[in-house]
Structure 1
Amino acid sequence: MPSGPSFSVWDYVVFTLMLVVSAGIGVYYAFAGGGQSSSADFLVGGRSMTAVPVALSLTASFMSAITVLGTPVEVYQYGAIFILICFSYVLMVAVSSEIFLPIFYRLGITSTYEYLEMRYNKVIRLFGTVLFIIQTVLYTGLVIYAPALALNQVTGVDLWGAVVSTGVVCTLYCTLGGLKAVVWTDVFQVGILLAGLLAVIVQSVLLQGGISTIISDSAQGGRLNLWDFDPNPLRRHTFWSITIGGTFLWTSVYGINQAQVQRYISCKSLFHAKMALYINLVSLWTISLCSVFCGLCLYSVYKNCDPWTANKVSAQDQLMPYLVLDILSEYPGLPGLFVAAAYSGTLSTVSSSVNALAAVTITDLMCPYLSLSERQLSWASKGMSVFYGAVCIGMAGLASLMGGMLQAAISIVGVIGGPLLGLFSLGVLFSCANTKGGLAGLLSGLALSLWVCIGAQIYPPQPENSRPLPLMTHGCNFSMAPEGTNWTANMDDFIMKEKNLLRPFLADNWYSLSYLYFGPLGTVTVIVVGLIISILSGGRQTKLQPGLVLSKEDLTCYKAYNVFKEKVSGSSGKLDLVRELEKSFGKTNLAFCDVELSTQTLP
């Protein structure tokens, strides 16, 4: 238990209320409109969702407690350069909406990995499904465990009580309400997440005497290191690693990840699906800016007395909860609001993951091999939600081995998501790619990504590449320090110890590659190897089914050009581009009007 300020009754009330409302949304959608009567209702919301709630759900799905607790610490230790990730969001949205979304939506698939069987064969589909399940379970375990540990150490919130309650509540509303409950709970949780971050920002600004003071402190401490154009790929964070690496990373999440694609295809039209992505961009920027500014607030408050170096917290991931109790404890309920914000991020991510895992298991691992009625499919979907909820709670125990939250989460997504992005890109962009090329590329990209990631875990990059910024303790009151505490321990000691270790040649070259490049490495390897093997093995021998490869008609700019050209040549009244585009994309989800597309392997 913490020795300083801890949770009050009102904090527990606010936190509990967030859990109750989240569960209540699931109960509501379990019975609203006749309940989840079919597997389509349960897994893809009856294909009737609109842009705004889906957009907020897209944001919530991967803006987890890792964002709330990990991003501010990243800024505190390494500087605000991480805000450049906002550039990668723009590129990601453009690529996802223009390249991948039209393909998946047109095919009317429930699982993203159905595309792999249509484009390649059943074996590659199975590979994709299994990799997704492994990636999602690992990532979700980290999302559940890491914030629970950080909050337990600082606020006294029971560790396993928090882990189990999070998993149980997620499983409850996923199982009862399906995708509609997940989406609308995400909308509520995004609001809570923003409110928690803003509470910290407002109070920090008031305590420090204004935004200008926080900016000035950050500049003097070297935290406003925004423009670093060093092309060295071994440097942890530069303009290039964040924008290029971040684009590949987030495209693997938003472009092909089942948890996100499942939301697109739940929209009632392709236009709503595309608009959801662009609206999501605004909320991504908002949360990222707030979390980065929280990091600057954290530095401004503790610029002269770093709680981590001073042993007031046992890990850097605990800095944000420590700050919250330090500056908000005199306002009952506000610390609870921040904890609710952290857990809202956790709930939204876990629920999205559980729902996506249930969808791919039913669609990829059960339906092709078992003959099930619609009622049996509906019950199997709910059973899978319960099963994966329990698995994710169990996997939370392994997350303690992963290190810092933000880097660990991005590494997991990059190592597996990168090769999968390469596999989908190969199929969507290159009609000559065949099954042999796809499989060889996937295995090569996965092997290379895993090699460098495991090497980086064994031999962490040297400080000259990661470049942590100095943390001060000269303003601490050491009179209350435990006897024997070494207050001189700092980064210099760490650097000297690292230099004295015997490190192989690859440790300071190959294994020191920025973790943000794990994803691009896997993606590019899959595409290059896949194309070479496909060409050497004779290319595509049979004609592709229509709609499996990107065409110019899928591009919004092409449709906009045609609409504009038609209106100008016809001179038929005032041009309402948005309305005409919506009409061009289609008002209803035609892919799901009692038509089932064949998923048979091409001969």
Structure 2
Amino acid sequence: MSEPARTFHWADYLVFASILVISGIIGCVAGRGQDSAEDFTLAGRGMGLLPVALSIVGSLAAVYVLGIPAEMYLDGVQQWHIFILPLFVAVFVTALLFVPLFYPLKIASIYEYLELRYKSKVPKITSTLLFILALIMNMGVSLFTPSTALESVTGFPTWASILACSGIAIFYTTTGGLKAVIWTDAFQALFTMAGLLAVAIQGTIAVGGFAEVFEISDRGGRLNFFVMDPDPSTRVTFWGCFIGGIFGWLGYYGINQPTYQRYASLPNQRKAKLSVFLNIPGIALLMTVTCYCGLVIYAYYDKKGCDPVMNGELANPNQIAPYFVMEVLNYPGIPGLFVATLFSGTLSTCAASLAGISSVVWEDLLKWKYGHISNTKQVWVNRGLVLIFGILGTGFAVLVTFLEGTVLQFAFSFTGAITGPVLGMYLLGAIFPCATGIGASVGAFVALGVLIWINVGQYSLNTNLSFKPTRIDMCPVANITTNMTELLTTTQMMTTQNITTPMMEPEYNPLEKWYGLSYLWYPMLGTAVTMVVGLLFSCVAGVQRTENVEPRYMMPVANICCCCLPKSTQDCLQCGMDHDEEAMDADVLDEKRVSTISGGDYVNGGMDNMGMEMDKTKL
């Protein structure tokens, strides 16, 4: 039987182009009337609940729509845990602790909190630079995701797709700011779900029904929900997904500038919390459907008896989903719909990253010196920042094309190496009033160094890149012969992980075991190292006096988590901090609007008041 032609029909190009044009139009129309930097970066704090919630969900689609099916195809459904179970924990922690901590401050950049809490610019600048690096990496991975998909189905060069996609994202972000990003994200989130459902339904029919999909997946070892191996070097386990996933999600929901900008654009704290809670059904549905799509794709090619990755028809496993769409859903317009789904997620992620970077760079690095310029000029400065960092993200996307492994692993590895230390800086300051800014910064740099060391070592040794076997017995003989060496190598790598002989013990290298640490543990390791080193350094260099730290900059962790314990025990756990319930009330705090930092001064009981007292003393 002849293979279907894997090329775009004119209807595919029409659907694909229409979605991108509609996204651009929505962005331009929704983003009109940008009169100030606050309008550009926070949408005037007047957005609606539903578009904000959809926007937060949609910004995750770029990497996951392509990366999750590839992971399910190669390694099974055990990573479903990282998307569902830890999500519940992270969302509740964010809504109960992080939103009440950040929202009442009314700051444009979430990193301003670090300066307010530590009374030092060092931790703010440290986290800002790490954040910029993380988002540039995130943009690069997101741009690479649909570009490699488009190449696999049309032959259109990856680099050209990267340039086109980044150009569109830069265009409507510079034109409309955060409001344009949110409304476009909301449209793209709904559209992405429609495309995924089309793949899941038609793919199930092609395989032979739900029962057939799960039977084949079970036979191939893909229904591995609970791998309870405690070894942290095992690539994916339940513990790595659950524990590491909590810290990864906290990095996204708790201390991520694009996420903060979205819920900070809502008019009150109650809606901000609700927008975070609404992500539970949205993310759960998105991740469950994408995981199922991966199982459908595996079942189809297992039943066919020819894995296109091992057969050499695909350059890398990240192309498996669009390849499947072109083969099974090769009806005019459907492949274009799916590729447009990928590009929609990428546009959402890139636009959110660019809006976040422009806001952070302006508020944290430039405003103290150029804050006196007119509102119009401030908007144009932010637009210029979007353009500059858009170009940097595009350059990193080209670099990603030369790396091995699935796009999901790369995204977790390098962004996790940065997310962990930054999360540690926030938790250290919000939980321990004795922590200092220098201590937090030193801890973050030590953690970053450790994680970069592991990352570089892992990629240099090519560890953790072996996956479960796939069938190639029905592939053309020529292709099997060409790729047999790669197959044998992969099989050998997988076999040696499960066989232990005394003869191999003298060759054991503990450094390779260290490099083999699963990427799922990176966020937790980075957070832990930052907090431990930060506390130790703070104690050695001189702790910060508790009375110098305002309660509104601290998390009432003991009040929430240990509410049944005696008041004296709670006070001890909170290092003597008095979290006044009225002061922590959402409605009261919303009324006490705190102005943002300007020229390095602190507000409402901070350094401004201290300066006034000093002046009075001199008088």
TM-score by length of 1: 0.89
Q: Secondary structure at the match of 1:368?
A: helix
Q: Which residue of 2 aligns with 1:77?
A: 74
- Counterpart of 1:333, as a letter, is G
Q: Which residue of 1 aligns with 2:579?
A: none
Given that 1:452 and 1:510 are in contact with CA atoms closer than 8 Å, whether structure 2 keeps it comes out as yes
- Provide the alpha-carbon RMSD of the alignment: 2.7
> C-alpha separation between the residues in 2 aligned to 1:494 and 1:325?
29
Indicate which of 536, 540, 556 corresponds to 1:551: 556
Call closer, same or farther: CA 1:19–1:555 in 2, change over 3 Å: farther
Structure-to-structure mapping, 1:341-352, within 5 angstroms: 341-352=341-352
Call closer, same or farther: CA 1:228–1:116 in 2, change over 3 Å: same
Shift of residue 253 of structure 1? 1.4
> C-alpha separation between the residues in 2 aligned to 1:144 and 1:423?
29
Q: Secondary structure at the match of 1:236?
A: coil
Q: Which residue of 1 aligns with 2:442?
A: 440
> C-alpha separation between the residues in 2 aligned to 1:7 and 1:393?
25
Given that 2:36 and 2:379 are in contact with CA atoms closer than 8 Å, whether structure 1 keeps it comes out as yes
Q: Which residue of 2 aligns with 1:36?
A: 34
> C-alpha separation between the residues in 1 aligned to 2:266 and 2:41?
12
The question of 1:312 aligning with 2:313 is answered yes
> C-alpha separation between the residues in 2 aligned to 1:592 and 1:119?
17
- Counterpart of 1:71, as a letter, is I
> C-alpha separation between the residues in 1 aligned to 2:462 and 2:489?
16
Given that 1:80 and 1:225 are in contact with CA atoms closer than 8 Å, whether structure 2 keeps it comes out as yes
Q: Which residue of 2 aligns with 1:475?
A: 474
Larger mean CA deviation between 155-164 and 245-254 belongs to 155-164
Q: Secondary structure at the match of 1:416?
A: helix
Shift of residue 343 of structure 1? 0.7
Q: Which residue of 2 aligns with 1:460?
A: 462
Q: Which residue of 2 aligns with 1:95?
A: 93
Q: Which residue of 2 aligns with 1:226?
A: 225
Number of equivalences: 567
- Counterpart of 1:397, as a letter, is V
Q: Which residue of 2 aligns with 1:540?
A: 544
Given that 1:7 and 1:156 are in contact with CA atoms closer than 8 Å, whether structure 2 keeps it comes out as no
Shift of residue 143 of structure 1? 1.2
Structure-to-structure mapping, 1:2-401, within 5 angstroms: 4-31=5-32, 35-64=33-62, 66-85=63-82, 86-120=84-118, 121-303=120-302, 304-329=305-330, 331-370=331-370, 371-401=372-402
Q: Secondary structure at the match of 1:214?
A: helix
> C-alpha separation between the residues in 2 aligned to 1:308 and 1:39?
48
> C-alpha separation between the residues in 1 aligned to 2:480 and 2:301?
23
- Counterpart of 2:327, as a letter, is D
Provide, for residues 322-366 of structure 1, a one-character-per-residue CA deviation record: whole Å limited to 9, x for no partner. 10000011x210110100111111111000000001001110111
> C-alpha separation between the residues in 1 aligned to 2:181 and 2:516?
39
Shift of residue 460 of structure 1? 2.9
- Counterpart of 1:204, as a letter, is G
Shift of residue 176 of structure 1? 1.2
Shift of residue 161 of structure 1? 3.2
Q: Which residue of 1 aligns with 2:522?
A: 518
Provide, for residues 43-99 of structure 1, a one-character-per-residue CA deviation record: whole Å limited to 9, x for no partner. 0011112322111111112221x2111111101111111111210111111121222
Call closer, same or farther: CA 1:346–1:496 in 2, change over 3 Å: closer
Q: Which residue of 2 aligns with 1:570?
A: none
Q: Which residue of 2 aligns with 1:421?
A: 423
> C-alpha separation between the residues in 1 aligned to 2:409 and 2:285?
21
Q: Secondary structure at the match of 1:547?
A: helix
> C-alpha separation between the residues in 2 aligned to 1:557 and 1:183?
37
Q: Secondary structure at the match of 1:586?
A: helix
Q: Secondary structure at the match of 1:297?
A: helix
Q: Secondary structure at the match of 2:401?
A: helix
> C-alpha separation between the residues in 1 aligned to 2:240 and 2:44?
40
Shift of residue 489 of structure 1? 4.3
Q: Which residue of 2 aligns with 1:430?
A: 432
Q: Which residue of 1 aligns with 2:414?
A: 412
Shift of residue 124 of structure 1? 1.7
> C-alpha separation between the residues in 2 aligned to 1:234 and 1:600?
46
Shift of residue 509 of structure 1? 1.4
Given that 1:195 and 1:337 are in contact with CA atoms closer than 8 Å, whether structure 2 keeps it comes out as no
Given that 2:146 and 2:339 are in contact with CA atoms closer than 8 Å, whether structure 1 keeps it comes out as no
| Overall identity of the aligned pairs, in % | 35
TM-score by length of 2: 0.86
- Counterpart of 1:292, as a letter, is C
Q: Which residue of 2 aligns with 1:571?
A: none
Call closer, same or farther: CA 1:437–1:400 in 2, change over 3 Å: same
Provide, for residues 568-592 of structure 1, a one-character-per-residue CA deviation record: whole Å limited to 9, x for no partner. xxxxxxxxxxxxxxx9633995355
> C-alpha separation between the residues in 1 aligned to 2:239 and 2:375?
49
> C-alpha separation between the residues in 2 aligned to 1:424 and 1:151?
39
Provide, for residues 453-472 of structure 1, a one-character-per-residue CA deviation record: whole Å limited to 9, x for no partner. 11111123357xx6x21111
Given that 1:470 and 1:491 are in contact with CA atoms closer than 8 Å, whether structure 2 keeps it comes out as no
Given that 1:456 and 1:507 are in contact with CA atoms closer than 8 Å, whether structure 2 keeps it comes out as no
Q: Secondary structure at the match of 2:338?
A: helix
The runs of 5 or more residues in structure 1 that have no matched partner are 559-582
Provide, for residues 414-444 of structure 1, a one-character-per-residue CA deviation record: whole Å limited to 9, x for no partner. 1001000000100111111112321221121
Given that 2:159 and 2:398 are in contact with CA atoms closer than 8 Å, whether structure 1 keeps it comes out as no
Shift of residue 492 of structure 1? 4.9
> C-alpha separation between the residues in 2 aligned to 1:496 and 1:424?
40
- Counterpart of 1:367, as a letter, is K
Larger mean CA deviation between 162-171 and 547-556 belongs to 547-556
Shift of residue 217 of structure 1? 0.8
Call closer, same or farther: CA 1:306–1:375 in 2, change over 3 Å: same
- Counterpart of 1:109, as a letter, is I
Shift of residue 155 of structure 1? 2.6
